[in-house]
């Protein structure tokens, strides 16, 4: 049994079925991305798995423990950085950390030490005694993550941890996510940042209108959109004319389409390896100098758009 498992989760809000039969399994040690457009049902799913919201139907398990039947042992294993800031603005950063520690049953003696270590790690050491009221969005987000780690949980739920942050703050949080995973933590990462999911996640589930559209590794998902594979090539100036372009296309049966992109040409086809071979042969025969040659597959964004369109 995986670290996180759901089976047929359903949640209705009045007439709206926000989550419509969601089933998946996350293995221990994975970074699992939960990717979907606004309103897809990501946060509602997380709230059901973490025991905040009761499902109308279906089950959720943490390390094999049924979250509804045994909420206490299930919740001991998880840390949650929710979508909406859960820090008290009238308390200091340290005060919030202590409170989170108390809530998660961290022994009093350890609370202070752990709080200080985590605040330091998240770059908030020098603001530990400032009230959260005066914190920027990035600072609040870092504090929320630190709070989620106070009981050193093996499984972390992060709901849009980098949304609305500047590049430096995003980078800091992404690095910490990678490190935490390196320490063996399982990470459930909700995001609509596709490149973040692509870079960080072992596997990604794409959710749309309350249903899982697909689950796979980013690379395998990209491979499902074969037709948009392409090769980008540029030749030394003046070497290449429109006439040559026509000749090239006729000569290369493997190329479906050629598009000019600035000083480069993009050759589309289903087999980029073969395109590269043929185009190199062609250049040699015609005495053309190749300046650059790159193959590029479809992006995760294309897969996402494809699956969530309409
Ligand atoms: N407490 C609630 N009462 C009524 N409707 C709700 C409630 N919570 C969520 N919804 C609705 O359920 C749907 C899914 O919402 P949810 O917050 O799970 O989406 P999401 O995928 O997290 O979106 P986002 O990317 O904007 O955070 C939305 O249509 C939302 O309006
Ligand atoms: Mg959400």
DSSP for 154-214, written as a single string:
SEEEEESTTTT--HHHHHHHHHHHHHHHHTT-EEEEEES-HHHHHHH-SEEEEEETTEEEE
From the list 51, 53, 56, 49, the residue with the least C-alpha distance to 72 is 51
Whose alpha carbon is nearest atom 17 of ligand 1? 43
pLDDT per residue as tens digits for the range 34-45: 999 899 999 999
C-alpha of residue 28 to centroid of ligand 2, in Å: 24
Instruction: Report, in angstroms and rounded to the nearest whole number, the Rg of the chain calculated over CA atoms.
Output: 25
pLDDT value of position 241 = 66
Q: How high does pLDDT run on average in the chain?
A: 89
pLDDT value of position 237 = 65
Ligand 1 pocket check for 238: Cβ under 6 Å? no
pLDDT value of position 265 = 86
C-alpha of residue 36 to centroid of ligand 2, in Å: 9
Of 66-75, 165-174, 219-228, minimum mean pLDDT range: 219-228
Ligand 1 pocket check for 191: Cβ under 6 Å? no
Whole-angstrom distance, CA of residue 235 vs CA of residue 283: 9
Pocket test for ligand 1, best of 9, 13, 193 (most atoms within 8 A of CB): 13
Residue 202 burial class via C-beta count within 10 angstroms: exposed 0-12, middle 13-18, buried 19 and up: middle
pLDDT value of position 105 = 85
C-alpha of residue 85 to centroid of ligand 1, in Å: 16
Ligand having the closest approach to the CA of 36: 1
pLDDT value of position 250 = 74
Whole-angstrom distance, CA of residue 126 vs CA of residue 92: 12
Residue with tokens 């000749």: 247
**Domains of the chain, earliest start first:** 4-219 (3.40.50.300), 226-298 (3.30.70.980)
Contact 217, 195 (CB under 8 A): no
Name, in order, each residue with C-beta under 8 angstroms of 189's C-beta and a sequence gap of 6 or more: 31, 32, 33, 34, 158, 161, 177, 196, 197, 200, 201
Ligand having the closest approach to the CA of 45: 1
Contact 115, 101 (CB under 8 A): yes
Whole-angstrom distance, CA of residue 9 vs CA of residue 57: 6
What is the percent of the chain where pLDDT is above 70?
95
Residue 99 burial class via C-beta count within 10 angstroms: exposed 0-12, middle 13-18, buried 19 and up: middle
| 215-to-104, 222, 253, 264 alpha-carbon distances in Å | 32, 12, 34, 35
Confidence of residue 111 (pLDDT cuts 50, 70, 90): very high
pLDDT per residue as tens digits for the range 211-247: 999 999 988 887 776 556 788 888 886 666 666 777 7
C-alpha of residue 282 to centroid of ligand 2, in Å: 51
pLDDT value of position 52 = 94
Residue 258 has pLDDT above 90, yes or no: no
Ligand 1 pocket check for 44: Cβ under 6 Å? yes
Ligand 1 pocket check for 36: Cβ under 6 Å? yes
What is the pTM for the complete model shown? 0.81
């Amino acid at each position: 049994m995986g670290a996180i498992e759901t089976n047929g989760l359903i949640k209705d809000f009045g007439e709206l079925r926000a989550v419509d039969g969601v089933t998946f399994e996350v293995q221990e040690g994975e970074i699992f991305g939960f990717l979907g457009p606004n309103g897809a049902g990501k946060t509602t799913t997380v709230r059901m798995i973490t025991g905040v919201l009761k499902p109308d139907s279906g089950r959720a398990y943490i390390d094999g423990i049924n979250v509804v039947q045994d909420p206490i042992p299930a919740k001991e294993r998880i840390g949650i950085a929710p979508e909406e800031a859960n820090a008290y603005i009238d308390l200091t950063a340290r005060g919030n950390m202590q409170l989170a520690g108390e809530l998660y049953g961290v022994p009093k003696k350890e609370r202070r030490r752990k709080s200080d270590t985590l605040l330091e790690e998240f770059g908030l050491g020098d603001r530990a005694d400032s009230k959260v009221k005066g914190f920027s969005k990035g600072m609040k987000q870092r504090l929320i993550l630190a709070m989620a780690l106070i009981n050193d949980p093996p499984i972390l739920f992060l709901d849009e941890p980098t949304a609305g942050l500047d590049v430096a703050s995003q980078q800091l949080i992404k690095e910490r996510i990678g490190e935490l995973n390196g320490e063996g933590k399982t990470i459930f990462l909700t995001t609509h940042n596709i490149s973040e999911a692509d870079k960080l996640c072992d596997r990604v589930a794409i959710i749309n209108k309350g249903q899982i559209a697909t689950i796979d590794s980013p690379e395998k998902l990209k491979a499902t959109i074969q037709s948009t594979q392409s090769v980008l090539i540029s030749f030394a100036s003046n070497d290449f004319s429109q006439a040559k372009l026509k000749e090239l296309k006729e000569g290369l049966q493997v190329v479906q389409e050629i598009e000019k992109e600035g000083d480069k040409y993009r050759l589309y086809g289903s087999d980029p390896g073969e395109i590269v071979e043929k185009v190199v042969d062609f250049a040699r025969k015609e005495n053309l100098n190749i300046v650059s040659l790159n193959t590029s597959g479809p992006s995760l964004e294309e897969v996402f758009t494809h699956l969530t369109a309409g």
